[in-house]
Amino acid sequence: MRVFYLFIIASVLLGACNTKVTEPVTKNHLSLNTDSAKIKINKEIYGHFSEHLGTCIYEGIYVGEDSKIPNINGYRTDVVEAMKEMKVPVLRWPGGCFADTYHWKDGIGPKKDRPSIVNVHWGGVTEDNSFGTHEFLNFCELIGTEPYLSINVGSGTVQEAAEWVEYVTSTNKSPMTDLRKKNGREEPWDVKFWGIGNENWGCGGDMAPDYYADIYRNYSCFVRGHNFQKIICGPSGGDTYWTETILEGLKGKMHLTQGISMHYYTLPTGDWGSKGSSTDFGEDMYFKTIRNTMEVEKYIQSHLEIMDKYDPEGRVKLIVDEWGTWYDKLPDSKEGFLQQQNTVRDALVTGINLNIFNNHADRISMANIAQIVNVLQAVILTQGAEMVKTPTYYVFKMYNVHQDATLVPVEFESELYEFEGESVPAVTASASIKDEVLSITLTNANPNKAAEIMCDLGKEFEVVNAQIVSGNEITDYNDFGKEEKVTIKDFEIEAPANGKLKIEIPAHSVILVQLK
């Protein structure tokens, strides 16, 4: 499905002798067609990503059983409860760049016997491998999420990959299943998502796309299991050459993959050397962040066009398994730990991306925000025994009504948010229906004025619920030991009449309206 944003600016000349120009007329109009709702929004579009990076795993998710911080078998109790409440559908691990230096056998067996590893990509820290395959997969079971494992292709071997698959999923008697049982897990885990390599165009081996396509074919033959979804490393941003080349390399062998990954990070400046602050910014950086976020729609379209050429039936899906904002590290934080704060601006980025992914639910089957705790656009921040839910957390929680719902096609006209000669759509939208409840999510990126939207519902509905995530300022964020500035609040709207609903979204806000 596609959402069409039509930008309407009308000028009217009035008067006879003394002609003058009126103020620009702008409008926002949303039309929904519930009768055409057929495509499921996979719950995995609301997925997350956890890498051995900074304090995402250690201190963020896992503190160990001996920690004074309340925990369940070493997993932070507050984080476990928050993730259950948010409804995490899928969690990717162990990376990221870390995945292609990770050897899974280092992270099994008695913890006292596990060798240490130096995290060469992120801070050069030494970790003890106390969080490995068992710890991750048991954590997924604890919070009720599907695991998504990234296989080491950059520095690993086909045998290592095949043995990991066997260790994790096999019910047959074999050396790997015997080893799993020896390590305390009798029954296999149900793991269906397998990424074969990560960013192989960069930190995953600096490979040429045609070379990687051959490597992928080799690995894919040995990553075997019931109902597996194998994911090939796709492009960064708009790199259509990579996409075209790997698909050409899979010609006649498209059955070897069920998904193509894509990574796209929002940088306000577009400059990796100086990305901008996560908290100290004005409207200039705010606008650039929103503008650069919306670029993902263009990149999705360009890659889907290539995928359609090689896979016209649309059996292979696009997996946006790394996305989110990337700012400069917080002052005084460690190099390579990628710690940043999370403001109202990030709430808008979240809502915009999720609306876009929803509206491409016919071809996008999974997305994973980076990262789940303490790193980049995290939904949760921890500091000692304290935990903070970020604005991004609350948007994910509010949007979880779309998980496994049926996409409602929308046609949408949006006014513009203009800044210093540039413009973007002020409003984005997506809608779904589940159990006879129609859920509409909308974002208003304009930081200076509310947006009035007229919704043509097509039939009679009653308001069930309306919620909003916003703040007084675009720089508002939630901090340790302080009252939350950004959370979910109830939102008042008028009752629909004659199949129409008028909604006024405050400036810099994300809202959910549910009707029945």
Q: Which residues are catalytic?
A: 199, 322
Neighbours of 381 (CB within 10 A): 24
- Residue 431 backbone dihedrals phi, psi, to 5 degrees: -150, 155
Residue 194 three-state SS: strand
Kindly state the tokens that stand for 514. 């549910």
State the sign of the Cα–Cα–Cα–Cα dihedral 479, 77, 338, 127.
Answer: positive
Which H or E element spans position 383? strand 380-383
Ranges of beta strands (E only) in 205-316 are 229-232, 259-266
Alpha carbons 146 and 177: distance in angstroms, whole number: 21
Q: What is the CA radius of gyration of the chain?
A: 24
Which H or E element spans position 201? none
- Residue 181 backbone dihedrals phi, psi, to 5 degrees: -65, -40
Rounded to 5°, the CA angle 464-465-469 comes to 165
Which H or E element spans position 249? helix 240-249
Alpha carbons 165 and 132: distance in angstroms, whole number: 14
